[in-house]
Amino acid sequence: DAGVTQSPTHLIKTRGQQVTLRCSPKSGHDTVSWYQQALGQGPQFIFQYYEEEERQRGNFPDRFSGHQFPNYSSELNVNALLLGDSALYLCASSLVSRGEQYFGPGTRLTVT
């Protein structure tokens, strides 16, 4: 049973560029959430997708957008990258009826 997978593992981008991160949920899960984790801090909620709709959103600007596909996989897009966007981006999947979330290994984004 495959767990949550994310790609790519690492990414280096230049300020002002755009980036797309990808996530495949754990088998059987229908909900995907995205988090940003800066060094030395806990994960910060970006948004959650269920039934291809954004259901909840944290305090992140509109530069952060996402998408969920019919197979429940998801993408996180960040436009006009800033140096402060450098972080570990985590995807977590869950069942809509259950609160427990399972995390992927993350994508390390570095903005130079």
Partner 1 sequence: GQQLNQSPQSMFIQEGEDVSMNCTSSSIFNTWLWYKQDPGEGPVLLIALYKAGELTSNGRLTAQFGITRKDSFLNISASIPSDVGIYFCAGLGTSYDKVIFGPGTSLSVIP
44 near partner 1, rule: CB under 8 A = yes
Strands 44-50 and 31-37: antiparallel
| Contacting partner 1 within 7-36 (CB under 8 A) | 33, 35
Asked whether the beta carbons of 93 and 31 are under 8 A apart, the reply is: yes
Beta-strand pair 10-13/107-111: parallel
Token pair in block for residue 62: 């509109």
Residue 68 contacts partner 1 per CB under 8 A = no
Q: 17 or 102: whose CB is closer to partner 1?
A: 102
Of residues 13 and 50, the one with the C-beta less far from partner 1? 50
CB 23 to partner 1: min, Å: 11
93 binds partner 1 (CB under 8 A): no
Beta strands in 14-106 (DSSP E): 19-24, 31-37, 44-50, 53-57, 64-68, 74-78, 87-94, 102-103
**Site residues, partner 1 (CB under 8 A):** 4, 33, 35, 41-45, 48, 55-56, 58-59, 88, 90, 92, 94-106, 108
